[in-house]
Amino acid sequence: MRLPSAPLVLKDDPSVLFTSAGMQPLVPYFLGRKQAPAKRIVSIQKVFRSTDIDEVGKDGYHQTFFEMLGNFGIGDYWKKEAIQWGWDFLTKELGFDGSTLVATVHTSDDEAYDIWTKTLALLPAEKVFRLGDEFNFWAPGPTGLCGPDSEVFVDKGPQPGVGPHQCDPSENCGRYIEIWNFVFQQYDRKPDGALVPLPKKNIDTGAGLERMAQVLQGVTGDTYRTDLFQPLVKKIEALSGKAYGAAKDTDLSIRIVAEHSRAATFFIADGIAPSNEWRGYVLRRLIRRAALHGRRLGMKPGFMPALGAEVVKTMQKHHHELTSSRDRIAEVLADEEAKFERTLANGLAMLTEAIDRAKAERQTFIDGDTAFRLYDTYGFPIEMTREIASGSGMTVDEARFHEQLEAQRSRSRASAKFTQDAMRFGQFYAMLKETEAIKSEFRGYEELATDSTIVSLVANGERREEAHEGTDVELVLDRTPFYPEGGGQVGDRGTITTDEGRALVADTQTAAPGVIVMSAKVVDGVLRLRAPAKAVVDEELRRDTMRNHTATHLLHATLRNMFGEDVHQAGSLVHAPNLRFDFTFGRGLTPDELQRVEDEVNRAILANADVHSRVMPLQEALASGAMALFGEKYDDQVRVVEAGPSRELCGGTHCHCTGDIGLFLITKEESIGAGVRRIEAVTGVGALREVRDTREHLVRAAAALRVPAARVPEALAQLVEARERLQRELETLQRSGVEAAAASLLAKAEAVGTAKLVAANIGEGDVQQLRALSDRVKAGIGSGVVVLGGVRGGDPFLVIAVTKDLVAMVDAHKLVKQIEGIIAGKGGGRPESASAGGKDAGRLAEAIEAARSAVRERLNGGRDRN
Ligand code: ATP
Ligand code: MG
C-alpha cells in the first residue's frame, strides 16, 4: 500500500518538532497502538532535519528539507527480502552501477553480513564494512524498540588529499555518500539494558530522493546540479548575477538560499508561521539565513516571495498543498523578509556598538554573549560576526559563544527526551494490552458516572497490586466515563472510589487504542487491583467543557460561512474555562465582523437544534460534506458530529442541544503569526462570569467617578480633559515660578568688577528645579557666576554655573571639587557647569559661602591681573 506523505508536523504527535523520517508517521503501527492498514507499506515522505541546518551549503548533499523514499514491513518480510528488493530497485529499476556500491552492517549483525556477502552474494566481503553502535544501531530512545541497521553508500573512489590511507564510510573523507538506510527493528531494550527479541519484527528503510537523483544524473555529491534544484538555482543566478560554480563563497550562499527558501515554502504550506518559539522559530531562522545570504549575493531585498513562487511552480504537481497555499507563501515570505530587513540594521548597530565598547575598554575581542545574541536573535551566523569583527581588527570570544550555544542545545535535547517518555508510555500500555488483554470501554458519551473494575494499577512505572494514600497512580478501568484528551478537548478530571479508598483523577489520556489511562492521586485509604470502583467525572468541569466544544464547532462553521473555504482550523483548545480557536486568515477581523461572528453563533445557539453524532465510514462522511481537519489522520470508521449549521469529524463530547451552550461571547481576537489568527471565547457559566466581571468593573468605575453607570464614558472623558488642562496650567505656573525666583535672585546679584555673582540657598527643592533655576539665572546674568544650594530629603546639593567668558578664571568643576568636602559629598561636571550632592545639610550655608568667597577672590584676582 502506498501511503501519501504526512505533513511536516504530525498532528498525532505534538511532542515531535518535525517529521524527520518516513517511519515517523508509522510509529503507532510499529508499536501496535493502531492497526496498520497493510503489512507492506511504501511512502514518499517529506521530512525536515533541523540537525543538518549547519551542513547546508558546506556540502552539496545535506538538505534540511528532503523527500524520503521508504518501504516498510510491519511484522512481515525481513532482512533478506529487504536487502534483495533494495538492491534490485537500485540496480535494475533505477540503473545504478552495482560495482560503485558498498554497504555497512552492525558488528553484531552476522545475519545481515552473510546476506550481503554469501546468501545473496551481492557484494564482496571487502565492500561490506562492520561498524559499531554509533553508525549502525537505531534506537530512538534509551529503552524500547530498536535494532541494527545496514546502510548503502555510493563510493566516489579515492579522494584527492586523503593520501594513501583509504578511508571507510565511518570517516568523513567525502569518498562515500549514503543513499539508503535499512533499519531492522528486532529488539525491545529493557531498562537494565537487556535486548529482548521482538515477537513481531519490522523493516523500516529510508532513501533520499535527492541523493538518488545526484547519482543517476551524474552529479554525485551535488544536489544543486540535479533537475530537482536547477530551476531554483537558475532563478537565483538570474536575480543575483552570480553563476553557480564560479567561486567558493558565492556557491555556499547560492546553496543556502536555494535550500532554505525551498524548506521555508513547505513549512508555510503546512501551516507553520514564523515566530520566536518552537517550530515557528526554525522557520524564522530559515527565512533569515536565506535572506542574509541573498543579500551577500547582491540580490535586491524582497526576493524571497519570487523564490517561493518558483518552488511552488516546480513542485506543486506532487504537493498540492503548495498550490492551495500559494498566496499565503508569498505573503509570509515577504513579511518575514521585511521584518528581517529591520532587525538586520539593528543587529549591525548592536555589533558596531560592541566593537566600539571593546575598543574603549582596550579589548581585542567581542564578548561571546553579544555574538550569541546576534546569532540567536538577529540570525547573524557566527562566521559573519567573526568576519565583520575582523574588519576592525577584533576576534570573537567563541568559547563563550559555544558555551551559550551548548546551553541552548541541551534545552532542546530536554524536549527530545519528552518524546521518548511519550513513546515509552505508549509502548508500555500497548504491551499490556497484548499480554493481558486489558482495555477500557469509553462510556462518557452517555453517562458521567460508571460502575467498573480496576484492571491495571501502575505507580512509578511499575505494575502494582495496591496503592496507598499519597501515591500517584495510573489507573485503567474496564469501563470509564472519563474522556481522554483528544481533538483539542482536554482529558476529564474527577474521582474514583472503591470500598476501601478514593483517588482524585487529574488527567486522562489514551495510551494505546482502547486503553484509557487516568492519572490520579490516592487521597484516602487504599486502591486494589480488580476491586470494583465507581468512576465519577467532575460534572461541572465536563459540562463547561462540552459547551465550549460544541460552541467551537459553531464558531468554525460560522467563520467558514462568512469568510470562505480558505479558513482552516490551525489548532484548538477546549477546556472548562474557555475555548481557543486558531485558524488561517490573512488579516485581523474588524470589530464589526467580530460582532457578526458572535451574532451568528448565538443565533445558532438560540435555534436550539439537537446535536447528533453518528459513526460512519470515512468516505461517506467526507462525501456528506463533513469537515475534516487538514493533516489529521482518520480511521476508516469515523464519528460525525452535527450541530446546527456545523458537521464535523470529531470524537469529543458535546451538548445535547445547541441551546445548552448558553451565551457565547468572544473575549479576544489576535494574531499568533503571519496568516494565523486566534479567537478566544466563553460560554455558559463562563459567559455569565464575563458579564458579571464587566458589570462589576463598571459599577466600581461609576462609584469612583460618583456618577451613574450610564454616564461613566462621558465623565471619564471630562476627567481626562480636565487633567490635561490642569497639567498645562501647572507647567505654566512652574515656569513662571522659576521666572519669578530667577528675577528676584538677579535683583540681588552682587557686582564683582564687571561680573556678577549670585550665591543663594533656596532651601527645600529638587535638583531638576535647581538646575532650571540656575540656567535661568545664568541666562539673565550676562557675565557672571551662579552658586545655588538646596536640600532634598535631608541631603544637600549644590549647582554652580559660570558664563563662558569667565571660565578661564572660574572653573565650575574645580570649584565643586574644592568645596564638596564641606557637605561630605561628591561632585563633578564641566568648567561651565557642575554640581555636587552631599550628606551634611547642616554645612550647606558654609559651603555656599566658601564658594562665594572663592569666586570673589578669583574674579578680583583676575581683574588685578588684567
Ligand atoms: P548522513 O550520514 O548522510 O547524514 P543519515 O545517516 O543522517 O545520513 P539516515 O538517517 O539513515 O541518514 O536517513 C536515510 C536516508 O536519507 C539517507 O540514506 C540519505 O539518503 C537521506 N538523507 C539523510 N540526511 C539527508 C540530508 N540532510 N539531505 C538529504 N538526504 C538525506
Ligand atoms: Mg545525518
Q: What is the pLDDT of residues 47-100, one digit of tens each?
A: 999 888 878 998 999 999 999 999 999 999 999 999 999 999 999 999 999 999
pLDDT given for residue 122 in this prediction: 96
Give, using CA atoms, the residue closest to atom 11 of ligand 1.
181
Measured in Å, residue 377 CA sits from the centre of ligand 2 at 26
Ligand 1 pocket member 843 (CB < 6 A): no
Whether the Cβ atoms of residue 86 and residue 122 lie closer than 8 Å to each other: no
Give, using CA atoms, the residue closest to atom 25 of ligand 1.
62
| CA distance linking residue 209 with residue 855, whole number of Å | 88
Ligand 1 pocket member 255 (CB < 6 A): no
> How much is the CA Rg of the chain, to the nearest whole Å?
37
Residues 6 or more apart whose CB falls under 8 angstroms from that of 359 comprise 392
Give, using CA atoms, the residue closest to atom 26 of ligand 1.
62
Please tell me which residue, 712 or 167, carries the higher pLDDT value: 712
Alpha helix segments (H runs only) across 221-325: 230-240, 248-269, 278-296, 304-315, 320-324
- Across the range 446-462, mean pLDDT stands at 92
Indicate the range of 15-19, 480-484, 589-593, 690-694 predicted with least confidence: 15-19
pLDDT given for residue 227 in this prediction: 97
pLDDT given for residue 162 in this prediction: 65
Whether the Cβ atoms of residue 466 and residue 457 lie closer than 8 Å to each other: yes
Question: Is it the case that residue 388 has pLDDT exceeding 80?
Answer: no
Indicate the range of 70-84, 302-316, 525-539, 616-630 predicted with least confidence: 616-630
Tell me the best of 211, 215, 255, 286 to mutate to test the pocket of ligand 1, counting ligand atoms within 8 Å of each CB and taking the most.
211
> Which of 304-313, 402-411, 497-506 has the largest mean confidence?
304-313
Atom nearest to 56 CA in ligand 1:
27
Question: Is it the case that residue 415 has pLDDT exceeding 60?
Answer: no
Residue whose grid cell is 541541551? 410
pLDDT given for residue 850 in this prediction: 94
The one-letter amino acid code at 794 reads G
Question: Is it the case that residue 651 has pLDDT exceeding 80?
Answer: yes
Ligand 1 pocket member 222 (CB < 6 A): no
Ligand nearest to the CA of 136: 1
- Across the range 487-510, mean pLDDT stands at 92
- Across the range 634-663, mean pLDDT stands at 93
Give, using CA atoms, the residue closest to atom 8 of ligand 1.
178
Residues 6 or more apart whose CB falls under 8 angstroms from that of 564 comprise none
Whether the Cβ atoms of residue 440 and residue 476 lie closer than 8 Å to each other: yes
Q: Is 141 helix (H, G, I), strand (E, B) or coil?
A: coil
Residues 6 or more apart whose CB falls under 8 angstroms from that of 95 comprise 216
Please tell me which residue, 823 or 672, carries the higher pLDDT value: 823
Give the angle subtended at the CA of 632 by the CAs of 602 and 6, to the nearest 5°.
150
Measured in Å, residue 680 CA sits from the centre of ligand 2 at 41
Measured in Å, residue 224 CA sits from the centre of ligand 1 at 16
pLDDT given for residue 76 in this prediction: 94
pLDDT tens digits along 241-262: 999 999 998 999 999 999 999 9
Handedness of CA 95, 99, 102, 103 (dihedral sign): positive
pLDDT given for residue 866 in this prediction: 36
pLDDT tens digits along 300-336: 999 999 999 999 999 999 999 999 999 999 999 999 9
Question: Is it the case that residue 631 has pLDDT exceeding 60?
Answer: no
Ligand nearest to the CA of 211: 1
Per the prediction, the chain carries an average pLDDT of 90
Question: Is it the case that residue 417 has pLDDT exceeding 50?
Answer: no
Ligand 1 pocket member 52 (CB < 6 A): yes
Tell me the best of 63, 106, 133, 181 to mutate to test the pocket of ligand 1, counting ligand atoms within 8 Å of each CB and taking the most.
181
> pLDDT class for 340, splitting at 50, 70, 90?
confident
Ligand 1 pocket member 13 (CB < 6 A): no
Residues 6 or more apart whose CB falls under 8 angstroms from that of 87 comprise 98, 120, 122
| DSSP class per residue in 410-467 | HHHHHHHHHHHHHHHHHHHHHHHHHHH----EE-TTT-SEEEEEEEEEEETTEE-SEE
Question: Is it the case that residue 33 has pLDDT exceeding 60?
Answer: yes
Give, using CA atoms, the residue closest to atom 9 of ligand 1.
181
Ligand 1 pocket member 181 (CB < 6 A): yes
pTM: 0.53
Task: Report the share of the chain in percent with pLDDT over 90.
Answer: 65
Indicate the range of 146-160, 265-279, 568-582, 852-866 predicted with least confidence: 852-866
pLDDT given for residue 349 in this prediction: 87
- Across the range 652-667, mean pLDDT stands at 96
Measured in Å, residue 51 CA sits from the centre of ligand 1 at 11
| CA distance linking residue 44 with residue 431, whole number of Å | 30
Give, using CA atoms, the residue closest to atom 5 of ligand 1.
178
Of 669, 695, 656, 665, the C-alpha closest to 683 is: 665
Tell me the best of 19, 54, 156, 178 to mutate to test the pocket of ligand 1, counting ligand atoms within 8 Å of each CB and taking the most.
178
